[in-house]
Amino acid sequence: MTSLSNDWLINHQERINLNLKSLFAKQANSQIKKVCEYAVLNGGKRIRALVVYAISENLKVDLKKSDNLAMAIELIHAYSLIHDDLPAMDNDDLRRGKPTCHIKFGEDQAILAGDALQTLAFQIISNNTFDIIDQFKINIIQTLSNSIGIDGMVLGQSLDMLYTNQKISQQKLIEMQSLKTGKLFEATFVSSYYLSEKNDLDKMNFYQALGNQFGRLYQIIDDILDLTSDTQTLGKTSGKDAINMKTTFLSESGLSKAQQEANKIYRSIKEKLGKDAQGQERLNLLADVIYNRDH
């Protein structure tokens, strides 16, 4: 990674973090605000927000418009992590090297914080300060709500629980992971395209397919790291998938085939970006970051 690439990552991570801090500073003081801040402001790679900024730069979108979408998606992601860590789900004690929300504040407050963050996300992108044409604002709201609801991320999480300690086909595994992780990535890519206030179906399909592959790559690398890394590096309990008897590419096919699948998806992403190379340096960079990450 070049120093310029590293600078871009750091600058935009700082940008989203400052925006999120400013957002919470405007909220009335309360216990639930503290829980939400704890979940959102405790680090994180901000990959999804960086995708928003990368596509925005490529499509010459004002970054102030991108800020609203980037914040909303980070809030949705944080909500999903809070609920994912709950005792009834993955029952994890650590997130980003710190006690998970339900360990720190109690299960009741953690559940409510997840609810609050999801609501706050839609408050941000439905607000008048999110200054884009109404139709594209509606498109973004629909895209995000569809991606995380009963036919999206929630369905994927439901299947993840149902498939625990079960032998399933590779196709079912791909479908589950595409829903659980891929759908929010898809929505991030497509919503970022809508910020340009254009409606080119070919471009939208390009970004949707790219988002799905980014999500699948992220999930498989996550599964591999759960087995091959340690708790300190991960910032969460390593080996948790095996403990919870989760169905992953590793449990179904082993480490070698999981690595082969990750390599295949990574090459496909690079090929797609290569065919649309103009201005895609940042997405290429983010693909590298996901593929080479250690936590």
Grade residue 274 by pLDDT with cuts at 50, 70 and 90. Answer: confident
| Per-residue tokens: 205 | 């399909």
| Per-residue tokens: 291 | 């593929």
Q: How far apart are CA 42 and CA 134, in angstroms?
A: 33
User: Residue 102: what pLDDT?
Assistant: 97
Q: Are 219 and 171 in contact (CB under 8 A)?
A: no
User: Residue 276: what pLDDT?
Assistant: 66
| Average pLDDT of the residues in 142-164 | 95
Grade residue 278 by pLDDT with cuts at 50, 70 and 90. Answer: low
User: Residue 247: what pLDDT?
Assistant: 79
| Per-residue tokens: 276 | 């649309």
Label residue 2 exposed, middle or buried (CB < 10 Å: 0-12, 13-18, 19+): exposed
Q: How far apart are CA 193 and CA 248, in angstroms?
A: 31
Q: What's CA 139's distance to the chain center, in Å? A: 19
- Amino acid letter for position 92: D
pLDDT at 222 over 80: yes
User: Residue 233: what pLDDT?
Assistant: 81
* pTM reported for the whole predicted model: 0.94
Place of tokens 């139709």: 135
Which CATH architecture best describes the domain 3-286?
Answer: Orthogonal Bundle (1.10)
What percentage of the chain reaches a pLDDT higher than 90?
75
Q: How far apart are CA 251 and CA 254, in angstroms?
A: 6
Grade residue 1 by pLDDT with cuts at 50, 70 and 90. Answer: low
User: Residue 72: what pLDDT?
Assistant: 98
Q: Are 179 and 159 in contact (CB under 8 A)?
A: yes
Grade residue 41 by pLDDT with cuts at 50, 70 and 90. Answer: very high
| Per-residue tokens: 81 | 């992590």
Q: How far apart are CA 1 and CA 16, in angstroms?
A: 21
H or E, element range at 99: strand 98-99
pLDDT at 277 over 70: no
Q: Which of 52-61, 88-97, 158-167, 240-249 has the lowest average pLDDT?
A: 240-249
Q: What is the pLDDT of residues 70-105, one digit of tens each?
A: 999 999 999 999 999 999 999 999 998 899 999 999
